[in-house]
Chain A
Amino acid sequence: MLAVLEVLLEMDRPYGLEVIDRTGRPSGTIYPMLARLEGVGWVESAWEDPSAHEKAGRPRRRFYRLTPHGADRARAALARVHRPRTQPSVGLRFA
């Protein structure tokens, strides 16, 4: 879950496949996780712009991004996990 949050914080609107590649986790793990995050309102998803996929002649893809609330919660969660390993300070919070 944390790896997924990390990827969503780092990347700009990744597709499911990109989250899978970056985290190295299988699709069967990533999609249920994204669905759950979407369900609790941390993540939102939308279809890509029609011009992109129509030009390429393929089905449209769906991208994901953190909601403002989700981004806050994700940063807090990651900070909590990383804190014991490094200095326990607020400086750890992502910009």
Chain B
Amino acid sequence: MAENQSDSDVIDASLAEPSAFGLIFERHYDAVHSYLQRRFDASRADEIASQTFLVAFDGRSRFDRSRPDSRPWLFGIATNLARSHRRHELVELRAIAAISPEGVAGIDGVEARVDAERLRGPLARALADLPSEEADVLCLLVWAELSQPEIAEALAIPPGTVKSRLSRARGRLQSALGLRPGADPVAARATSNGGE
């Protein structure tokens, strides 16, 4: 039964019968698309998601068939494709930062939903200010829901590098959001070097 086959088996079968690759699309398109929707405007997300599967199909012979799950590989392709659109991602994040309500220091005693809304601008600003390799790791962790070993596989980097990038990224984020003692999101925003 094709549904019971691992991704690896399906990709293997698609080398002889290209249409078999359709099952990979069915299994993972929504997840890849959702991840990209978090990062990009709708039309760009649509395009990159679709292109991810075209690139994956063209490169299926290079898929490491010792790995049963193709998700890390697909998210890796999507992330690589997304890099050429990073500029747009930054423009949108900075736009959100510019038009969102001012963040304020401290979040104690405020409902989480309200916090999220209030910190939307500072968060966008902080994400825009992250180095792209740190942003990729963070986005794959949170929005693609990949584990650290899977992120390492997706980006073809050592697990230790994932860990250190993640640590730096989170540190920057927490600092910018005032989630560490003494840090003020407004001040963090004002001293950011990623502005217009």
* A and B physically associate: no
A residues adjacent to B (C-beta < 8 A): none
